[in-house]
Structure 1
Amino acid sequence: MALITPAALGVIVGAAFGCCGTLAGRKWFGYQTKSEMPETLAPGGSTPTFVSLDNALAIHDHANSILFRFLLGELTGVLSQHGYVMTRDATQRTELLSDVKHDVTKALLMKREKFLAPKQPTQSAEESVAYMLSTGYAAGWMNALLKGCESQGWFIEPCRANSRTGKIPPSVQKSGPDLYPLQQMIVQVRGTTGTLTRDLIRGLERVSDEIQITPFPDEGLNENLKGTYGNIVPASPDHSVSYSISWQHCTSGPGFFTDNYGSDLPPCLIRERERRKHISEQHIIVIIQGARHTVSASMQDCLCQAIYRINAGEYEGAEYDNNFGYAFISKCHV
């Protein structure tokens, strides 16, 4: 048994492009259009301009790979909750039972809706997913995604405890041991009273880079990383930012989030917000949590969503579902 590794995620994306309407026909477009449409060249016929086919395709691939990398990470978690895992062993390949496949598709599409429009009301996302399920779009989308995985050598197999009755085996129930230990990250960036939000955001972006290259520590181990970003010379301290990342495991519930799902600030951050109320330094704190098999790419995407919301002017926020999600508080100025 094996889970999808970050190295394989980007490869699978290409095979799943047919899943979305805007992505349909990517292979046809790449081969047919190039022979029919000349490159847009800069004056003098030197190098392609900004408005060129190659540039458009590169940006298209990059933007969509972010989404599908997130979805593939979430797919492993949703499958685990239903008693299945991804494997490289083709001999263990199994078809999802129809009711299980429906639930997996619905859950994954909800996560896609929240990823693409994190501020939309839950009811709006549910209505959108219900429409896709009723029209048959959802089934075709999921089939294309799974076929894309298989084209790259990834197959679905039942967990050993799964009797294939359609019931979730005890080992992967929501409160079961397969969720634990929970993976948790605490990210903090700090500046002086004169530090601008943009500098704190750049510190968070540096943290995002660190998360991408740092594997989550093995079960039972924690890890801490500290660093600085910006001008740290004594003459100009107002533009410096310090950051810290803590990777840790939580062996029992409820973890960071006491509710099953929601967007309310969790109690731990409410207490921290009160504690820091009279501290003058500018700061941002982001907490991220995943289940035992949540991939690092999904946790990095949580940080990216928090960065987007803070950059848009939000001072606190949260989004979590079934032990996976993030929350943040900030004290900063433009």
Structure 2
Amino acid sequence: MAIISCFSQPESLRGVLVCLNDTGGIAGLCAVALGLGIWIVAQVRSEAAAKKRLAKVMKYGQPAISSPPTFGGQQHAEAVHLFANRDYYQFLLSEFEKALLAQGYELTADRARHVVPDSDSTRQVARAIMIARERYMAPLQSDATLEDKADECARAGYSHQWFCLLAAGSERTGWYIARSTPTTGSE
């Protein structure tokens, strides 16, 4: 019981150790060392178990899905949306860049070079985007049908909205429309 009294009102760690030495001798110190050792082993095992649980959750740096999300639920819809739209927007951005290049513009990360394309160039790029978009969505359409749709989208302002969407989205990620810089080739 004398050993227990050393822990009931400890003044300091040194006081506890002196008390243990005085009351229980070496047996008291061994009991404390054993208790401390057990506590350290428990902490190390707990940390190792947490790392093991995390390793099971992560696979290739991505969270591993232990079971699929609820079909048609929010998580499922978001995953399908991301999957379906990634290729679509990569295609649109590629066509946006091609159309800009054809009009004498380029995309740059240099914000200081940013310009607003003239209205004729904007119309031409917007038209090219709409034709590419329609061809992507329904690849078997005739060229005449695509031209008619592009005309209608231009009249309705839809093609201009797509131009603005791609330009603003690009700017938000650090890509700006600039005048093309002439390349000096050694031809």
Per the normalisation by structure 2, the TM-score is 0.59
| Alpha-carbon distance in 1 for matches of 2:68, 2:125 | 46
Aligned residue in 1 for 2:83? 62
CA offset digits 1:42-78 (Å, max 9, x no partner): xxxx863222111111111211111110111122221
Structure 2 unpaired stretches of 5+:
1-66
1:126 shift after superposition: 1.3
Aligned residue in 2 for 1:127? 148
| Alpha-carbon distance in 2 for matches of 1:99, 1:47 | 49
| 1:89 maps onto 2:110 in alignment | yes
Structure 1 unpaired stretches of 5+:
1-45, 162-170, 172-176, 179-334
Aligned residue in 2 for 1:159? 180
Aligned residue in 2 for 1:317? none
Amino acid at match of 1:138: S
Aligned residue in 1 for 2:120? 99
State the superposition RMSD in angstroms: 2.2
- 8 A Cα contact 2:95 2:128, kept in partner: no
Computing the radius of gyration from Cα coordinates, the structure with the larger value is 2
| Alpha-carbon distance in 2 for matches of 1:97, 1:119 | 33
Aligned residue in 2 for 1:319? none
Aligned residue in 1 for 2:131? 110
Aligned residue in 2 for 1:281? none
How many percent of aligned residue pairs carry the same amino acid? 31
Aligned length: 120
1:107 shift after superposition: 0.9
Residue aligned with 1:99, SS: helix
Aligned residue in 2 for 1:71? 92
- Mapping of residues 1-334 of structure 1, within 5 Å: 48-161=69-182
Amino acid at match of 2:81: H
Per the normalisation by structure 1, the TM-score is 0.34
Aligned residue in 1 for 2:16? none
1:160 shift after superposition: 2.8
Poorly superposed stretches of 4+, deviation over 3 Å = none
| Alpha-carbon distance in 1 for matches of 2:80, 2:86 | 10
CA offset digits 1:156-204 (Å, max 9, x no partner): 110134xxxxxxxxx8xxxxx99xxxxxxxxxxxxxxxxxxxxxxxxxx
| Alpha-carbon distance in 1 for matches of 2:111, 2:83 | 29
Task: Flag the structure with higher helix content.
Answer: 2
| Alpha-carbon distance in 1 for matches of 2:107, 2:124 | 17
